[in-house]
């Protein structure tokens, strides 16, 4: 019997897709556009099981998997998510490949955000490395582990620009700046997806578009974004991801300017496909199609399916009862054309062929354990965490600590010994026994007798429990006595009897992320009170902050000599923190956001427009400075650097031409260290007001003591143009640019460039 053309690997992908598409029924086409949550145990559903007899809380884990497995066998499911093991992946894939009519393999997705078994630093921390090379390497390792577990597709990177740190999901992105965000987006797509190799994942940049601008920083709330901000701020990371080859994009939940993003033809077709040239497939976020009716946009689920598909959405992600089940009827009654349905199915099938699933649908169960246990990945996790750590303050050279003369060390704070919290949110296949805590690492270097630990002030639970905790059995519960006076007293007594107190403060991992927006940036619980009491003992204090957002540490900045932003560092958290505290590594992480003094300043960004009475910019509030606590790009080092000899290739260039900016950077200290060189520009005048400073280039360089390196940056029309809302187009003005180069957004070494006709 001749082999069907779609099964012939000698044919082109387009030919195979066309043949397979011609064989599908309307119901099977709708099935390819449906992705289900799979929350089963992994065991086959027992035949004859009386589901109705099960307790309600157990039914969802039996009834839904049973329905989903039946849909897979009937060719009515194209993708599943939350599959964690190669064994389960293979069992479900066998239903699709060997029991469905046409044998179309399933696409297994998962939120591989910053690691699988190995937990790497959270994405906002990866952005703090300002190293595209490191970020690409990290996500390549994460892809390798997830693919070994049977996963094909990650719902990452999240590349939403976040300018309000009350929004919990800022931890998944690269902060406030579009240039840094675009660089991180492209690096992650290259790492995750690359050339679609056997150890790669389909990358899924999200959320298109504007989710990071949710009103008031409240997750899922609507966003109102001007055209200028949309094109100049929120779009560049998605352009970079598309240009890096991303074959999937996820739409956003919320309304953008009054229209749900999951059903916006302007966004999904006009901008994403026609303007950016995206040719992959678009998936909704969880239940976003069904929610179109909830959002008072669609009349019912049939209307929701038609409007989403018509806008350019290709696949519906849902927990149950997909709206896309109604698409065959919609085609039959003329509400949607079969051509539109075919276009969506074609895009999904193309990716399945490009991933090689028709030839290699099954995971290699025998090889999985070796990949997941890779020591190289653990080393990379430590290296990335070291590169991400930001030294915020270091008065009087309080750091590094001298391991040979440190004396007695008190470590205080539950996050110093929290195996799960140090990993951060959005990681579910980890093994917390592999986490190296801060206490573990310091004792390993300094000795058990030198390091004493007290948890002290605990961390209160969330007011509303996290819905993601149910996916993670390793969540550490906080005891009811988190504010126990005796526990705080013990921590203060320990600190008073020690030579150094390393106080670790911050937020639990489930106090940030999705459904974890915050109304305040205050340290939770009684952590600040405890810090003040420890400081009052006279013992030298070093503060380590574990968080994914800036917190209100004004008091610490005024009183504590050394402050380290550690983020959620991952599996090798403690080793990285100890390496920085003890001087094995010179910190070179830089802030990917402006650190506010107070929540009342939000949103606070460095790239703001100059306004009336600009000299009063830092005095906008009568009761607080408008200046940040730390500027965008800030970070200190154990060495010192000097910038000199700033040159511009030509003092004047014609519109459309390019030039080069170069600067000498010298390590004037006594040790090797990294520096992040940052280039900013300001357009003085033109056809629109432009921000006072905009990042246009950066380079992380390593310099030995006394070494000078010439660092060059291109300035092309791409860096000098912007979207003008008056003309609804990109423009490059005849104008003069101020150029600044330095170590953060306050860069003072300056030059100018004229753009002429």
My answer on whether omega of the bond before 388 falls inside 30° of 0, hence cis, is no
What does the alpha-carbon distance between residue 673 and residue 704 come to, in Å, rounded to a whole number?
7
Residue 181 CB contacts under 8 Å (≥ 6 apart), including other chains: 127, 159, 161, 173, 174, 175, 236, 237
DSSP string covering 89-126, please?
HHHHHHIIIIISSS-PPPEEEE--SSBSSSBPPPHHHH
Cα distances from 415 to residues 259, 526, 557, in angstroms, run 41, 14, 20
Among 160, 164, 177, 285, the active-site one is 285
- Exposure b/e, 64-81, CB count within 10 A at least 16 = b: bbbbbbebbbebbbbbbb
What does the alpha-carbon distance between residue 343 and residue 364 come to, in Å, rounded to a whole number?
33
Other CB atoms within 10 A of residue 473 CB: 9
**Cα-based angle 698, 704, 705 (whole degrees, multiple of 5):** 115
Closest to 208 measured CA to CA, from 298, 278, 306:
278
The 3-state DSSP class for residue 83 equals coil
DSSP string covering 687-735, please?
SS--BS-EEEEEEEEEE-TT-EEEEEEEE-HHHH-EEETTTTEEE--SE
What does the alpha-carbon distance between residue 89 and residue 146 come to, in Å, rounded to a whole number?
11
CB-CB contact of 589 with 572 (8 Å) = no
Closest to 471 measured CA to CA, from 509, 528, 527, 444:
509
DSSP string covering 282-343, please?
EEPPTTTTTHHHHTTSSSSHHHHHHHHHHHT--BEEESSS-GGGGHHHHHHTTSS-HHHHHH
Q: Count CA atoms within 13 Å of residue 466 on its CB side.
A: 24
What does the alpha-carbon distance between residue 186 and residue 237 come to, in Å, rounded to a whole number?
8
Active-site residue 198, yes or no? no
Residue reference for tokens 């598309």: 242
Chain centroid offset of residue 582 CA:
29
Closest to 636 measured CA to CA, from 682, 691, 587:
587
CB-CB contact of 212 with 169 (8 Å) = yes
DSSP string covering 32-58, please?
HTEEEE----SSPPPTT--GGGS-HHH
Active site residues: 285
């Amino acid at each position: 019997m001749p082999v069907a053309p779609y099964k012939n690997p000698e044919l082109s992908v387009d030919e195979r897709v066309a043949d397979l598409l011609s064989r599908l029924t309307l119901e099977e086409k709708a099935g390819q556009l449906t992705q289900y949550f799979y929350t089963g145990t992994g065991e086959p559903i027992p035949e004859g099981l009386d589901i109705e007899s099960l307790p309600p809380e157990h039914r969802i884990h039996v009834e839904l998997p049973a329905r989903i497995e039946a849909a897979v066998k009937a060719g009515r499911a194209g993708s599943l998510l939350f599959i964690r093991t190669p064994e389960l992946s293979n069992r479900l894939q066998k239903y699709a490949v060997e029991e469905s009519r046409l044998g179309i393999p399933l696409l297994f997705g998962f939120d591989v955000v910053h690691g699988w078994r190995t937990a790497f630093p959270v994405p906002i921390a990866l952005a703090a490395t300002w190293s595209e090379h490191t970020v690409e390497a990290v996500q390549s390792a994460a892809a390798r582990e997830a693919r070994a577990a049977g996963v094909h597709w990650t719902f990452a990177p999240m590349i939403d620009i976040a300018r309000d740190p009350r929004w919990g999901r800022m931890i998944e992105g690269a902060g406030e700046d579009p240039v840094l965000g675009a660089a991180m987006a492209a690096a992650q797509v290259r790492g995750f997806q690359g050339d679609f190799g056997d150890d790669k994942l389909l990358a899924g940049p999200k959320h298109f578009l504007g989710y990071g601008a949710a009103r008031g920083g409240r997750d899922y709330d609507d966003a109102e974004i001007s055209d200028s901000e949309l094109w100049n701020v929120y779009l560049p990371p998605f352009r970079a991801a598309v240009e890096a080859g991303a074959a999937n994009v996820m739409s956003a939940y919320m309304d953008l300017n009054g229209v749900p993003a999951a059903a916006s033809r302007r966004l999904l077709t006009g901008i994403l496909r026609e303007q950016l040239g995206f040719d992959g497939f678009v998936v909704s976020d969880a239940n976003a199609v069904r929610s179109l009716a909830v959002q008072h946009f669609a009349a019912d689920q049939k209307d929701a399916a038609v409007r989403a598909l018509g806008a350019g959405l290709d696949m519906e992600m849902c927990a149950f009862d997909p709206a896309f089940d109604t698409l065959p009827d919609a085609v039959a009654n003329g509400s949607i054309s079969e051509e539109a349905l075919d276009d969506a199915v074609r895009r999904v099938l193309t990716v399945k062929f490009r991933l090689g699933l028709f030839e290699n649908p099954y995971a290699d169960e025998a090889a999985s354990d070796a990949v997941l246990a890779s020591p190289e990945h653990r080393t990379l996790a430590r290296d990335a965490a070291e590169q991400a750590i930001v030294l915020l303050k270091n008065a009087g050279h309080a750091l590094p600590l001298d391991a040979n003369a440190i004396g007695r060390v008190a470590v205080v704070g539950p996050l110093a010994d929290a195996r799960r919290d140090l990993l951060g949110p959005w990681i579910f296949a980890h093994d917390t026994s592999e986490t190296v805590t801060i206490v573990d690492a310091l004792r390993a270097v300094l000795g058990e007798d030198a390091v004493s630990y007290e948890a002290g002030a605990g961390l209160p639970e969330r007011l509303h429990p996290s819905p993601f905790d149910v996916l993670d059995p390793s969540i550490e519960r906080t005891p009811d006595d988190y504010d126990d006076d005796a526990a705080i007293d013990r921590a203060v007594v320990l600190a008073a009897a020690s030579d150094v107190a390393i106080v670790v403060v911050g937020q639990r991992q489930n106090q940030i992320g999705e459904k974890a927006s915050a109304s305040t940036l205050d340290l939770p619980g009684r952590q600040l009170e405890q810090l003040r009491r420890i400081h009052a003992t006279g013992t030298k204090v070093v503060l380590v902050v574990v968080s994914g957002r800036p917190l209100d540490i004004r008091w610490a900045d005024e009183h504590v000599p050394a402050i380290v932003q550690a983020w959620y560092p991952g599996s090798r958290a403690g080793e990285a923190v100890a390496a920085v505290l003890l001087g094995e590594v010179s910190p070179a992480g830089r802030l990917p956001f402006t650190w506010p003094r107070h929540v009342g300043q939000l949103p606070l960004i460095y790239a703001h427009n100059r306004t009336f009475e600009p000299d009063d910019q830092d005095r906008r509030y009568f009761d607080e400075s408008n200046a940040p606590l730390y500027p965008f790009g800030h970070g200190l080092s154990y060495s010192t650097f000097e910038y000199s000899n700033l040159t511009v290739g030509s003092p004047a260039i014609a519109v459309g031409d390019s030039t080069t900016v170069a600067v000498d950077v010298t390590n004037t200290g006594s040790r090797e260290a990294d520096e992040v060189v940052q280039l900013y520009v300001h357009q003085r005048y033109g056809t629109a007001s432009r921000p006072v400073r905009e990042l246009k280039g950066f380079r992380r360089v390593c310099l030995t003591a006394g070494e000078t390196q010439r660092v060059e940056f291109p300035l092309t029309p791409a860096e000098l143009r912007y979207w003008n809302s008056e003309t609804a187009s990109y423009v490059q003005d005849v104008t003069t640019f101020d150029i600044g180069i330095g170590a953060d957004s306050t860069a003072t070494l300056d030059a100018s460039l004229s753009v002429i006709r």
